[in-house]
Amino acid sequence: MGKGSDLVEYDSKKVVASPEMCYSCHDGSVVDSRAENVNHFGHKTNVPPPPAMKIPKIFPLDENGKMQCSTCHTAHGVPSRPGTDTSIFMRSPNDKAQMCIQCHPDMSGGKKRGNHPLNLAGKNNKKNIKVSWQGKRQKLTCKICHSAHGSKYEAFLSKNPSRSGFCLSCHPDKYFISKEGERKPFHAVNIKPVKARIPGRLIKMGARLDKNGEIVCRTCHKVHKNKHKKNLLIIENDAKSGLCLTCHIDKQYVKYTKHNLGNTAPGEKNLQGKTVKETGLCSACHLPHKPARKLSGKKDITTRICLSCHSKGNVAAKVNLSGKTHPLKINPFKKRENSITKININREKFSLPLFNKFGVEDINGDMVCITCHAPHGIRAKPNHNMPNKYFLRKKTPIICKECHFEKFSIAGTRHDLKKSSPSAKNILGQTAADSGLCGSCHLIHGSHKGFLWARKTDSRDSKSNRQLCKSCHNKHGIAHKKVNKGFSHPLKRHDINEYRRAGLPFFDQNGKYSAKGDLSCYTCHDPHTPRIRNKIKTVSFLRKNPPLICKSCHTDKFAITNSKHDLSGSGKNSAILCKTCHWVHNANNSFLWAGKLVRGNVCFDCHNKDGVAKKKVLKGASHPVNISVYDKGILTSLPLFDKIGKKSKKGLLKCYTCHNPHKGTSNNFLRLENSPSPLLCDNCHPGKGLIVNTDHDLVFSSPGSKNILNKTPAQSGTCGVCHLVHNSTHKFKLWARNFGDGVNIYEKACNSCHSKNGPAKNKIPQIASHPLGKLIKNIGRNIKGKPGFFPLFSSKTWKPVNTGDIFCPSCHNVHQWSYQASLKGNRINLEGNALNSFLRPPAATQICKDCHGLDSLFRFKYFHKLNIRKIKPG
């Protein structure tokens, strides 16, 4: 029995009011306005119920059998206690959707009857679901999803159903993007299918797409009156993955491949503990809203899915991706700083798929496993093999050519092992016919470190790149005719800044390209390009034709062009410009010498009586070589060399210490100027350079005089007036002048100038010699460079001794005008005295007094005066 109120008694008779009566109040003047119902979607009035719908008697229709507001509502009372929380003037309580179900019984019953379950503990909240205006957790009822009045959306839905937002309000864990923005291995929603196709028959069965054709939850699920009870799917997902393959037609070939675990691993279970036989062909790798396999690592989502099987301890461990593999997560179109790592791809012609971080095919994406591999197979047929191995999208090596087409000029060359060594095998035991053009040297998976190398290497070689070349180029290898023996070009850069301009690639110790790396075999050689490069025919797989490739680093050496050292014929045959003297491989010493080592010297290979430089042959006496200037205390900025020709700070003096054979100047290829200014000699003999601009510098004092080579001082240089570096007829001091008269070699040398026909004819001493055989001792005063230095000499060998005779250089230092000042001259012809005139510190106060006592000063002063020195003072 119902209840009335204090004002109005309960009327048990069912009275149906017209909508106009209701709208007379609900016209906007109260909160429940008819505008909600008129302007938006709402339960219909003034219409009869569908013929198949049975309306309970508790809900009266009007006299015409039509539904009105009062069919569901009563203004006076209900057969239950009043209360807005359950009735709101309803004819029946509806807190558990009782009222809705009485008219719509076919929409209830949960999954068993093909409907979304009701009366579950909901996780909805006021913010996400509009009808939850009470602000408290509610059980899932009809009114959570539907609003009888004022809905803006189809089917009286309380929230916009587009882009799956309605479903995801309660099922956020089913979304395929994590909170961190990472792709989860779930079926994507809210995207427009690219390769998948939603067939029309699926739409007729109730599938829905969003307004622009995007896949949404309702594409696969139907929440009411679904014939398939399990998961409310529009098509039951059977053991053949019927639902998946209805749209993913291009994936159906997987059933004929090894990736059909129903055949290859029927006992393998996914993370739900189900086999393929139980949950379908696709379920081994994919579940729509959960991971099907355990994923680990930080690689891209597609790679992690592949590794969930192809890794140690998993079902496809036999095809384990061990060792080094082709790099992933790289964009082939990305601009690179060098020609080595650059991939020249025509974006329009590139046919392999790239993928973005969500695993979606994207032309601007990166390379991943499935760029090259089609895990579902391609055009496979029952009882037929795949058109190529390893699920590749194209046969090898055609698939490699998609990115690396520039490398394919190797075909048909000596580096094409199918032609040059067809029986050779890689580390997998495959011949070139088995592995393909690229597989002879490179493995995409399981290779050695560096360049995906597929051949056995020698780990003892410190240069990783050279290891690769030597895997063939060794005495037992397939390229044993091209083996490095002896000296070859060094693989260490000495001046990074100098070589950085080379335009050639450099590599680090791991074999990777690095602008700060060292030279490697690949710096000069491109093993893939032997024929045409930039429309120019190349040789020996070189990146540039010689000598341009040499010039890339050694630009300073090309001053030799058209010089006397250019043996290529004044530039006519420029390819051999460098090769005539140097071999990059298998040379005779560290200079990479291409000729013979005559007496251990590379220069003598040409500079001999039968050589190409027979006009410049060493005859007679020359400056000593192969001596250690370091041991003699000489400091020089000129290069010194060890016994095999490498530069060494404590090395030996060689021909190329003074000569730069590549510096084709008019100054005899000298490293420094030596005429008229003696910069070269002065570099090792700085004390001798004080002779410049003094009376003994004939460039200043006697410019017209000539040495035995008939050269003037300007031509020979200050030093060349008296000394010849090469081909002197006199071994003594490499003397460059004709000897004068005298009783000893030193006096003869001095009289070369101090004679009546010499440049110093005005400075001829009456007597120049000291009596011989006096056995003068010089201990303590024979240390060169020390104060009081006074050398004595052997009358037999002319060399300095501790006990010997006094010769001209005992008193005179011919290279220094005044012992009181270590200065060069000022080009003024001075008249000397006893304190200069090229004299050493006065002997009168030192060695002379040992014999002459108080006479020493007199003897010293008048030493060259024949008549006076005979007179005994006193």
First to last CA, the chain: 172
- CA torsion sign, 786 to 790 to 794 to 799? positive
DSSP letters along 348-407, please?
A: TT--S--B-TTS-B-TTSB--HHHHB-TT-SS--TT---SSGGGBSS-TTHHHHHHHGGG
Q: Is 291 helix (H, G, I), strand (E, B) or coil?
A: strand
User: Taking Cα atoms as reference points, which of 100, 221, 239 lies closest to residue 168?
Assistant: 221
The tokens of 633 are what?
Answer: 């205390």
Distant-in-sequence, close-in-space partners of 698: CB < 8 Å, separation ≥ 6: 705, 713, 718, 721, 753, 759
- With contact defined as beta carbons under 8 Å apart, do 436 and 442 qualify? no
Q: What are phi and psi of 183, to 5 degrees?
A: -75, 130
Paired with 448 in beta bridges are 453
Q: Is 304 helix (H, G, I), strand (E, B) or coil?
A: helix
Distance CA 656, CA 670 (A): 9
DSSP letters along 153-197, please?
A: SGGGBSS--GGGHHHHHH-GGG-SB-TTSPBPSS---SB--SS--
pLDDT, tens digit (0-9, with 9 covering 90-100), for 155-181: 888 888 888 988 888 888 999 999 888
Which amino acid is it at 816?
Q
pLDDT, tens digit (0-9, with 9 covering 90-100), for 733-776: 999 999 999 989 999 999 999 999 999 999 999 998 899 888 88
Kindly state the helix (H) or strand (E) to which residue 777 belongs, with its residue range.
Answer: strand 776-777
Paired with 183 in beta bridges are 177
Please report, rounded to a whole number, the percentage of residues in the chain having pLDDT higher than 90. 42
pLDDT, tens digit (0-9, with 9 covering 90-100), for 813-846: 999 999 988 999 999 888 888 889 999 887 767 7
Q: Note the pLDDT of residue 15.
A: 57
Q: Note the pLDDT of residue 61.
A: 92
- In this prediction, residue 1 has a pLDDT band, given cuts at 50, 70 and 90, of very low
pLDDT, tens digit (0-9, with 9 covering 90-100), for 334-349: 877 666 666 778 888 8
pLDDT for residue 669 is more than 70: yes
- In this prediction, residue 494 has a pLDDT band, given cuts at 50, 70 and 90, of low
**Other beta carbons within 10 Å of 631:** 9
**CA-to-CA dists, residue 590 to 490, 642, 853, angstroms:** 9, 10, 61
Q: Is 601 helix (H, G, I), strand (E, B) or coil?
A: strand
Which amino acid is it at 223?
V
Distance CA 590, CA 487 (A): 6
- In this prediction, residue 572 has a pLDDT band, given cuts at 50, 70 and 90, of very low
Q: What mean pLDDT is reported for the chain?
A: 85
pLDDT, tens digit (0-9, with 9 covering 90-100), for 517-544: 888 888 899 999 876 555 555 668 998 8
pLDDT for residue 40 is more than 90: no
Domain ranges of the chain: 1-156, 160-236
- With contact defined as beta carbons under 8 Å apart, do 70 and 22 qualify? yes
Distance CA 700, CA 676 (A): 10
**Highest mean pLDDT of the ranges 24-38, 557-571, 621-635:** 621-635
Q: Note the pLDDT of residue 585.
A: 92
The tokens of 120 are what?
Answer: 């579950």
- With contact defined as beta carbons under 8 Å apart, do 511 and 450 qualify? yes
User: Taking Cα atoms as reference points, which of 583, 565, 584, 566 lies closest to residue 574?
Assistant: 566
Average pLDDT value for residue range 40-45: 80
Q: What are phi and psi of 4, to 5 degrees?
A: -100, -165
Please report, rounded to a whole number, the percentage of residues in the chain having pLDDT higher than 70. 87
Distance CA 766, CA 757 (A): 16
**Other beta carbons within 10 Å of 598:** 14
Cα 633 → chain centroid: 47
User: How do 536-537 and 532-533 pair as beta strands?
Assistant: antiparallel
Largest CA distance in the chain: 176
Kindly state the helix (H) or strand (E) to which residue 465 belongs, with its residue range.
Answer: helix 464-470
Kindly state the helix (H) or strand (E) to which residue 445 belongs, with its residue range.
Answer: strand 445-447
Q: Note the pLDDT of residue 125.
A: 42
Per 3-state DSSP, the chain is made up of helix, strand and coil in percentages (nearest 5) of: 25, 10, 65
**CA-to-CA dists, residue 809 to 96, 501, 733, 755, 798, angstroms:** 129, 53, 13, 17, 11
Q: Is 115 helix (H, G, I), strand (E, B) or coil?
A: coil
Kindly state the helix (H) or strand (E) to which residue 683 belongs, with its residue range.
Answer: helix 679-684
The tokens of 542 are what?
Answer: 């070189």
Distant-in-sequence, close-in-space partners of 146: CB < 8 Å, separation ≥ 6: 100, 155, 156, 157, 158
Q: Note the pLDDT of residue 132.
A: 37
Distance CA 37, CA 28 (A): 11
Distant-in-sequence, close-in-space partners of 579: CB < 8 Å, separation ≥ 6: 546, 547, 594
Distance CA 503, CA 619 (A): 45
Which of 589 and 719 is assigned the larger pLDDT? 719
**Other beta carbons within 10 Å of 129:** 19
- With contact defined as beta carbons under 8 Å apart, do 805 and 792 qualify? yes
> Which residue bears the tokens 């491989």?
585
